[in-house]
Amino acid sequence: MIKRTLFFSNPAYLSTRNQQLVVNFPDDEKVEKTLPIEDLGYVVLEHPQITVSNGLLMKLVQNKTAVITCDKQHLPCGFLQPLVGHTEQTERIRYQLNASIPLKKNLWQQTVTAKIDNQANHFLSRGKNALRLKRYVKEVKSGDLGNQEAIAAAYYFQNLFDLEGFSRNQKGVPPNNLLNYGYAILRAITARALVGSGLLPSVGIFHHNKYNAFCLADDIMEPYRPYVDAVVYDIIESGCQIEDLNTRIKSDLLLIPAIDVVIDGKQSPLMNAMSRTTASLYECFEGSRRKILYPEF
């Protein structure tokens, strides 16, 4: 089932009644709205004057709904997740923590290979030459000792957008702002799926920064990044201004959880595909599987 994404950019009072999310507005002329909580996958809270009842937060967490808060720059900065995401969570975390270094290196090799291959296929879909990226795919070794991921990413972004002098930098010129927003949404999707699979998003297979609470999410989202890039590419091609994250652009980026991807030969919404990816990751930790299931662009 495809879960809905709700985005609140104006002052609002959010509460719950009869398993429904109830939305009231300070403006008395606006009519109260209700939505079934079971249909919600993501709730994005952007405006600082949004009030959320604790009863609603409890029901959203129990429904495994990702609640995302935004900072003053309107970028996602926080993510509310349940303490218990799976009935076998303790056992699954034990497998994750006991994963050997050779296994982690192999899983990271698979992840980087899938990412670069998806970048190459995104190039091909835009009529661009992907021969160099396809070569990088073949050069990824265990643990990516040659750092092909960074080499491929530099080439990829230098040639993806038809914008003079563009380079990928979080604080760089547009469309970096669009990419930052899209990747933040993708990170929340990944963290939600990892928790649902009983894994710790903070313990990565490659990323291990002690200040990063989402190391594993940052690992697993890598092959999915080209889908965000594709959405941003289409926004640029539409001709709209990209200096600011306006409502239209955010609406397009907030559709990322529901865009179709191909995984295991079948079409699936990205949020569902991510759950299959994280489930396969657990099976690799547990030993019943050797390959992570990633989508093919």
Gap between the Cα atoms of 109 and 149, Å rounded:
10
- pLDDT at position 213, please? 85
Judge whether 286 is annotated as a binding position: no
Is pTM, for the whole model, over 0.85? Answer: yes
Which domains, and CATH codes, for the chain?
4-80 (3.100.10.20), 89-286 (1.20.120.920)
Gap between the Cα atoms of 190 and 278, Å rounded:
8
- pLDDT at position 171, please? 86
Of 228, 219, 223, 296, nearest in space to 264 by CA: 296
A 10 A CB-CB count for 258 gives 16
Radius of gyration of the chain (CA): 20
Q: SS3 letters for 30-61? A: CCCEEEEHHHEEEEEECCCCEEECHHHHHHHH
Full pLDDT tens readout for the chain, 297 residues: 678 899 998 999 999 999 999 999 887 677 889 999 999 989 999 999 999 999 999 999 999 898 999 888 887 888 887 877 788 889 999 999 999 999 999 999 999 999 999 999 999 999 999 999 999 999 999 999 999 999 999 999 999 998 888 889 888 899 999 999 999 999 999 999 999 999 999 999 999 888 888 999 999 999 999 999 999 999 999 988 998 889 899 999 999 999 999 999 999 999 999 999 999 999 999 999 999 999 999
Beta strands in the chain (DSSP E): 4-8, 12-17, 20-24, 33-36, 40-45, 50-52, 66-70, 76-80, 260-263, 266-269
A 10 A CB-CB count for 211 gives 5
- pLDDT at position 182, please? 95
Judge whether 47 is annotated as a binding position: no
- pLDDT at position 138, please? 96
Judge whether 29 is annotated as a binding position: no
- pLDDT at position 1, please? 65
